[in-house]
Amino acid sequence: MYKNSVIKIEKNKNIYCLKVKNYLNNAFFIKTFVEPVLSGNSKLEKEEIKIALIVNDVISLEDLIKKKKMTIELLELLFNSLEQQLKELEQTNHTISNFSPKHIFLFESKIFSLTKFIFLNIDDVYKLSDNRLVIDKPFRMKKYMAPEFNKVKKIPNRTVTNTAAYWSLASLIESISNIDIRSTRLDWALKRCLIKEAEHRFLLLI
């Protein structure tokens, strides 16, 4: 379903698995989405781990958008899910540079009454130092990337703060919304993330 240099989602009958390469070096990222849906059946072999997930369905945000199935409830869930993942990443001094619909998946589990969006692209994860991104690898300018990235002309660079992820999340949700969210709690949450001055942005859905 989704594959990059680290993570691959596989389905065998009714079991979904995350196949993670180089797990030991990326455990900080894996934990931000594995724990809520982990079945406990995992096997580590030669720095590769295969994690069985107890979920009924997995669908990409990209497909949800194409099928025009986004509702205000799903948009709020998207914001809350990725807000939580961002906060968990920040606790490990990491953050996400940019969100993309093709790297976000909706996991649903009737067993745990769980419905959650999860971001699955290690390539867009950067280290943080004093709340600033340690940009030590090339990044691709993307549709939902915060405007301050335009000022980064060379690397290494430490001028972009962790709130760039807040802008990207809000920009993504604002662009995919096909319903009127004006004056809703989600609308106010997005406005707080889209403040031009990076130091004044914050994540909060009331």
3-state secondary structure of 181: coil
Domains and CATH numbers, the chain: 7-53 (no CATH), 57-200 (1.10.510.10)
- Does the model's pTM come out above 0.85? yes
Q: Write out pLDDT tens, residues 65-111.
A: 998 888 999 999 999 999 999 999 999 999 999 999 989 999 887 66
Query: DSSP states of 11-76 as a string?
Result: EETTEEEEEEESHHHHHHHHHHHHGGGEEEEEEEETTEEEEEE--SEEEEHHHHHHTT---HHHHH
Closest CA to 11 of 118, 92, 19: 19
Q: Write out pLDDT tens, residues 4-24.
A: 445 677 777 666 777 777 777
